[in-house]
Chain A
Amino acid sequence: MSELGMIIDIIEGTTFAMTPLVLAAIGEIFNERAGIVNIGLEGIMLISGFMAVVAAEATLNPFIGVLAGVATGAFIGLIHGYITAYLKGDHIISGLGINLFALGGVAFGIEAVWGVRGYHTPPDAAKVPDLPVINISPIFIAMILIVIGTHYLLYRTSIGLKVRAVGENPEAADVVGVNVERVQLLATIYGAALTGLAGAFLSIDWLTAITKELPAGRGFIALALVNFANWSPLLALGGGLLFGFFWTLGEWIKNMAAVKAVIPVTLMNTIPYIATLAVVAGLIGKSRPPRYVGRPYKRE
């Protein structure tokens, strides 16, 4: 293969690898800006990925599959948001619940729907088609637009002002008539919907498969990315780009016979994680979370 071909391959690979991470991280940044922590990203990706395959395969329409993924994410966000914002429940416990439910639920679901254990590949007609000419997913393009849109929403609109105020000082927002709980609930739904999109992207676009380990830790990487990006959507895009690049590079190196013989593949798999952590942690330095993040707001 020519060198140009290799470079194009790595670029394309990077666009795929970064998309689910950035989507989930942007979603989480949005709800954490409103003060709600959702550690259930991994679980949401998994359930949404599963639902996306089910819907896409049933209708043979990938668009419906994507919608199903987003809707599933939004629905889980609704539950998490209701528990944390309205019932003042513990954010971590609720998020943990999502992850645990997903683990069992999807493993069971795969068996129940397709009668196989742990792995199913949807037909080609259910897959999101790539863009013409270059091998890039339309969801990648959507992701870029979402990053820009979310950034605009957070910093340039009165909605963003409300969201950030609720995460920084809910009392101040409450006093001037912002409905703290509703803002938190809506932010959580938005955040989880983006994570749902990430799940659909994994199962009916990039990997075109559903397994019970579909997200493979990406939900947790996204959580880390939120911190490293200092709760800024644009920085999260940069961090995702780095991770995607190292991941693709790692895949490339790991398939070279000479390397394979010396270094175990599992060790090679850690390259993108360690490289991203090193670069991003070195670049960003001290981050400042929203002041009220993860704390239930009670008036009395």
Chain B
Amino acid sequence: MNDVIVQMKNIVKIYPDGTVALRGVDFEVRKGEIHGLLGENGAGKTTLMKILSGLLRPTSGEIYIAGKKVSFKSASEALKHGIGMVHQHLALVPAFTAYENIVLGLPGREASREKIEKLMEETGLKVPLDALVEDLPFGVRQRIEIIKMLYRNVDILILDEPTTNLTPIETKELFHTLKELKKRGKTIIFITHKLREVLEVTDRITVLRRGRVVGRTETAKATPEMLAKMMVGREVVMKIEKKPAKPGEPVLIVKDLWVKNDLGEWAVKGLSFAVYSGEIFGIAGVEGNGQTELVEAITGLRRVEKGQVILMGKDVTNRSPSELYRLGLSHIPEDRHKLGLVLDMTVSENSILGIHRLKKFLGSLLNLKWRVIDKHAREIIEKFEIVAPGTRAPARSLSGGNQQKLVVGRELSKSPQVIVAAQPTRGLDVAATEYIRKLLIKMRDKGKAVLLVSADLDEILQLSDRMAVMYEGEFMGIAKPEELTEERIGLMMGGYKMEQISAGTKPQPAASS
């Protein structure tokens, strides 16, 4: 069973914009194993696998499949060699049914419903074939993607961060599936940055850091601490120190809030809660359960259909973002490229977005006072340790972590009383993540109220003083993080209400309307 099936030799990848993603990587996978490819964001894991699956071409280096040298010009050529990749942002067509997605690109005669049903029966991967993909939860979409690959006789299955958007229960099911596929002789490459998962499911591990292999090991011989050290290059503080919270007045109150999504369906269904000054209130949950709509409604970006939002004692339901800002609300949006920054504008320009009407930035002819603005930007750069070529450099030229720090810096420079932070550390490296998390705690200690919405459960658990789990527009329960076990949170994320779980009765999924 020790035959090497994939061998990548001295792979170098330089992107057209000059970014060096891989600096000479040797990578080996044996037939029939589950191989973990571990690394931080930007380590080059996905790039390496995109090369193996034919989506990207290496700048230099050689690939051997079962001893034969190959050079793929496209993903379909890799597929013909039995290599298929399940992408993090699944490569499915949302407007198509599951069946259409599975047979897409196949000649008509090879598309057989019966065969797909038989395959689903055999592997235990069941999906509704006639449902539109956009109506299905992420876990099911992922199964569609795996079936799509298996139906094309893929022997080497690459999974890119497959558990990112899964509930704990779905993750367990996925691991079960992977072990089942391994028994059937499939080779699986599992890309992740989650230590626990790589230890649980893989046979061997390769660790990448900044485009280089920094370690290879048998999983049985690995420890979490050792892997973490290899991955990050230093010891990581897994826990963040924080003092007990001293909550004060309720400064943000939400009463029976009803909000619709873009399709006109109810996304937030009658939520009520309060956030107190001096506390971090966390909202966990798998993405797409109404968190985005909730944040947009609170920050004045989306219409409230019913209910109330009360900020600093004033009813601000359906008020404009600029009014909310004047009352002391700051918003760190979940998508910094879409809502946080104008990438082609300079650091200075971005640093005053939303506060550009302040008197101190305007001259007597309503002209912008660039000297004052540059100074404002420089203050943010210094205070938040942003690495930027200068205040007049476009925001695009900053790395993701520094872009996010710029957004956070601008929002905090508004000296807010209430901070709404949505996915504040998404896509950031360990150092930037730690920095921003500590900053949120610091703001809390200064008596600000923080509403934290995050799909990263660890983040919610680490930072929150109180937390709620959101599922299909409702809270499954509000509690202190230390009162909840992981299993309970998992059940809540999967749609069980806290009372049902505590009552000890056989849990029933919450009714969805």
Q: Which of A158, A174, A299 is B108 in contact with, Cβ under 8 Å?
A: A158
Question: Can you name the residue of chain A whose Cβ is closest to the Cβ of B95?
Answer: A168
Given A300-B16, A300-B56, is A178 in contact with B95 using a C-beta cutoff of 8 Å?
no
Question: Can you name the residue of chain A whose Cβ is closest to the Cβ of B15?
Answer: A300
Complex: A178 Cα to B79 Cα, angstroms: 12
CB distance from A157 to the nearest CB of B (A): 8
Q: Most A CB atoms within 10 A — which of B94, B105, B107? A: B105
B105 touches A173 (CB 8 A): yes
Stretch at the interface among A58-66, A97-105, A159-167, A272-280: A159-167
B95 touches A161 (CB 8 A): no
Complex: A158 Cα to B104 Cα, angstroms: 7
Q: Among residues 157 to 193 in chain A, which have CB atoms less than 8 Å away from a CB atom of chain B?
A: 157-158, 161-162, 164-165, 168-169, 171-179
Complex: A284 Cα to B172 Cα, angstroms: 45
A-B Cβ contacts below 8 A, count: 76
CB distance from A248 to the nearest CB of B (A): 36
Instruction: Tell yes or no: A151 within 8 A of B by CB.
Output: no
Stretch at the interface among B85-93, B178-186, B219-227, B315-323: B85-93
A176 touches B75 (CB 8 A): yes
Complex: A229 Cα to B395 Cα, angstroms: 40
CB distance from A160 to the nearest CB of B (A): 10
Instruction: Tell yes or no: A295 within 8 A of B by CB.
Output: no
A176 touches B56 (CB 8 A): no
B100 touches A161 (CB 8 A): yes
Q: Most B CB atoms within 10 A — which of A172, A299, A300? A: A172
Instruction: Tell yes or no: B76 within 8 A of A by CB.
Output: yes
Contact with A along B98-111 (1 / 0, CB 8 A): 00110111111001
B56 touches A161 (CB 8 A): no
Q: Among residues 452 to 470 in chain B, which have CB atoms less than 8 Å away from a CB atom of chain A?
A: none
Complex: A157 Cα to B108 Cα, angstroms: 8
Q: Which of A157, A165, A174, A177 is B96 in contact with, Cβ under 8 Å?
A: A165
A178 touches B104 (CB 8 A): yes
Question: Can you name the residue of chain A whose Cβ is closest to the Cβ of B54?
Answer: A175
B94 touches A299 (CB 8 A): no
Question: Can you name the residue of chain A whose Cβ is closest to the Cβ of B109?
Answer: A158
B56 touches A172 (CB 8 A): no
A158 touches B103 (CB 8 A): yes
Interface of A is mostly: helix
Complex: A259 Cα to B100 Cα, angstroms: 56
B111 touches A158 (CB 8 A): yes
CB distance from A297 to the nearest CB of B (A): 12
CB distance from A3 to the nearest CB of B (A): 46
Q: Most B CB atoms within 10 A — which of A169, A171, A174? A: A169
B103 touches A175 (CB 8 A): no
CB distance from A161 to the nearest CB of B (A): 6
Question: Can you name the residue of chain A whose Cβ is closest to the Cβ of B107?
Answer: A158
Contacts of B75 in A (CB 8 A): 174-177
Complex: A287 Cα to B487 Cα, angstroms: 43
Q: Most A CB atoms within 10 A — which of B16, B55, B75, B90? A: B75
Complex: A176 Cα to B145 Cα, angstroms: 11
Contact with A along B57-78 (1 / 0, CB 8 A): 0000000000000000011100
Q: Which of A165, A171, A174 is B74 in contact with, Cβ under 8 Å?
A: A174
Q: Which of A157, A172, A179, A300 is B104 in contact with, Cβ under 8 Å?
A: A172
Contacts of B414 in A (CB 8 A): none
Complex: A176 Cα to B152 Cα, angstroms: 9
Contacts of B55 in A (CB 8 A): 174-175, 299
Complex: A173 Cα to B107 Cα, angstroms: 14
Complex: A172 Cα to B100 Cα, angstroms: 12
B94 touches A173 (CB 8 A): no
Contacts of A168 in B (CB 8 A): 93-96
A177 touches B15 (CB 8 A): no
Question: Can you name the residue of chain A whose Cβ is closest to the Cβ of B110?
Answer: A158
Contacts of A171 in B (CB 8 A): 87, 91
Contacts of B93 in A (CB 8 A): 164-165, 168-169, 172-173
Instruction: Tell yes or no: B148 within 8 A of A by CB.
Output: yes
B92 touches A169 (CB 8 A): yes
Q: Among residues 318 to 366 in chain B, which have CB atoms less than 8 Å away from a CB atom of chain A?
A: none
Contacts of A291 in B (CB 8 A): 94-95
Complex: A299 Cα to B72 Cα, angstroms: 14
CB distance from A182 to the nearest CB of B (A): 12
Contacts of A161 in B (CB 8 A): 96, 100, 103-104
Contacts of B15 in A (CB 8 A): 300
Given A158-B107, A176-B105, is A164 in contact with B74 using a C-beta cutoff of 8 Å?
no
Complex: A168 Cα to B56 Cα, angstroms: 21
B105 touches A162 (CB 8 A): yes
B92 touches A172 (CB 8 A): yes
Contacts of B104 in A (CB 8 A): 161-162, 165, 172-173, 176, 178
Q: Most B CB atoms within 10 A — which of A158, A175, A176? A: A175
Complex: A157 Cα to B106 Cα, angstroms: 11
CB distance from A162 to the nearest CB of B (A): 7
Complex: A161 Cα to B100 Cα, angstroms: 7
B91 touches A169 (CB 8 A): yes
Complex: A179 Cα to B93 Cα, angstroms: 16
CB distance from A268 to the nearest CB of B (A): 39
Which 9 A-B residue pairs are closest in the complex by CB-CB distance? A177-B76, A176-B105, A172-B91, A168-B93, A175-B91, A178-B105, A175-B75, A169-B93, A158-B108
Q: Apart from A173-B104, A178-B76, A178-B105, what 12 extra A-B contacts exist at CB < 8 Å?
A: A158-B106, A161-B103, A162-B105, A164-B93, A168-B96, A172-B92, A172-B104, A174-B75, A176-B104, A176-B106, A177-B105, A291-B95
Question: Can you offer 7 A-B residue contacts whose CB atoms are under 8 A?
Answer: A158-B106, A161-B104, A175-B79, A175-B87, A175-B91, A177-B80, A178-B76
